[in-house]
Amino acid sequence: MKIIEKRDFYIDGKWVAPEIPSEYDVINPATEQKIAVISMGSQADVDKAVAAAKKAFDSFSQTSKQERLALLKRILEVYKKRKSEVAEAIKLELGAPHKLAHGAQSGVGVGHLEGFIEALEKFDFEERTANGDLIFKEPIGVCGLITPWNWPINQIALKVLPAIATGCTVVLKPSEITPLNAILYAEILDEAGVPAGVFNLVNGDGPNVGAALSRHPDVAMMSFTGSTRAGIAVSKDAADNVKKVTLELGGKSPNIIFDEEGALDVVKRETRRVFSNSGQSCNARTRMLVERSIYDDAMRVAAEAAKGQPVGDPDEEGFHIGPLVSALQFERVQALIQAGIDEGATLLAGGIGRPEGLETGYFVKPTVFGNVNNNMRIAREEVFGPVVALIPFDTEEEAIAIANDTEYGLAAAVQTNDAEKAMRIARKLRAGMVHINNSDIGYGTPFGGYKMSGTGREGGQYGLEDFLEIKAVSVPS
């Protein structure tokens, strides 16, 4: 195929060459072949983008809610028209299978946009306190946005859209591993008529472009999604300027399954759920806590689900999983699978190496470990691959204790037919999101976590509020 060349950055409403030429090869994870060339930015590029955003903020921050609603609706119209292009880009650079790329991976760009439109329509930027003082909710300023590769449009939408909705201006640094969908998103915003300087895009890596954004004195807020390690680095870089920082970081989500009617069907379903997106989801329910009375049967069923999980070319139709995103990610997951074996967990399915017949590409065997305890690395570290760890428990109290015994707190799940029990447990779980049975949160519901999983929330009203400053105005009586 012809190599895609996308060397320019989008700054102040124009596509411009980088200040210092520095090329980066984008790799197709299914073939390990170069598919595109982009540029890696520098401090000078960040300075130019921030200056454009700062200049645009003066006027854009004064636009009305109705003007910004109209802009979001134009973005929605253009995105829907170009959604299939976004899907194909994600399939190519992430290795997301065709069904996933054209479904959830690109579909979130519509869902989140509709969610923010609904939230903005209902949102009040002025209110009065009980004693009659005025409260103004005002755009915070220039926002630096850093997004990951695993759900790229999802995170771009959850950051760019609420910033625009509230009157902020932004500089986006997407993952250099999956930059093509972000470049398309810039084209969509340009076509929709987003004013020059309101949205800017600079490609690059974390230590250079990401750090330059985080340290920049004219950036009022950083919104980051990625690893906990990198999120800590962003926070430290931002600290000297006392800028606001919101973080959506890692997870090691527990999934509590009780011995009830249909429990083994739940085990099968939830094992397959972890494998979706090749396990590359921060909220994946990778710690499966199973009541001991059905634990042996659960290990058998989970192993069967893994052995029956198709793995293949992203271009193929049907339900299957694709490769991991990169050689580095492949090696990290292999190392953690080996750690599970070395620490004495029982390898029930999968293991190290590529699936049979897939010698090229960063494909991983869907893997299940049994006889896991919560002190093992595979129970404590975020694997970010198609790996499930089954942990037994005897009582409801023990299940809650194991579930909460983690440095993370992004998501958790409870599988029970007893609604009262489900709510009782949900209130005790230290996580930003709790899923009861076969449920997921909707667009507009806050996404985010406790503890080392981050700060702030994304989506809907709560996502809008993160991009606002609060001003109290006392009025003479």
Contacts of 258 (CB under 8 A, 6+ apart): 291, 415, 416, 421
DSSP string, 430-457: -SSEEEESS--PPTTS-B--EETTEES-
The CA radius of gyration of the chain, in Å to the nearest whole number, is: 23
**What is the share, in percent, of the chain residues with pLDDT greater than 90?**
98
On whether the CB atoms of residues 434 and 414 are closer than 8 A, the answer is yes
Residue 228 phi/psi, 5° resolution? -60, -40
Q: How far apart are CA 67 and CA 64, in angstroms?
A: 5
Residue 351 has a pLDDT of 98
Q: How many residues appear in the chain?
A: 477
Averaged pLDDT for residues 12-37: 98
The model carries a pTM of: 0.97
- Enzyme catalytic residues: 248
Q: How far apart are CA 92 and CA 35, in angstroms?
A: 8
Residue 477 has a pLDDT of 73
Residue 317 has a pLDDT of 83
Largest CA distance in the chain: 78
Note the pLDDT tens digit of each residue in 159-208.
999 999 999 999 999 999 999 999 999 999 999 999 999 999 999 999 99
Q: How far apart are CA 152 and CA 296, in angstroms?
A: 38
Q: How far apart are CA 458 and CA 151, in angstroms?
A: 14
Residue 476 has a pLDDT of 85
Please, what is the Cα angle at 95 between 94 and 97, to 5 degrees? 125
Note the pLDDT tens digit of each residue in 343-394.
999 999 999 999 999 999 999 999 999 999 999 999 999 999 999 999 999 9
Burial 287-326 (b: 16+ CB within 10 A, else e): bbbbbeebbeebbebbbbbbeebebbbbeeeeebbbbbbb
Residue 239 has a pLDDT of 97
**Mind listing the domains of the chain with CATH numbers?**
4-249+453-473 (3.40.605.10), 254-442 (3.40.309.10)
Residue 475 has a pLDDT of 85
Residue 387 identity (one-letter amino acid): V
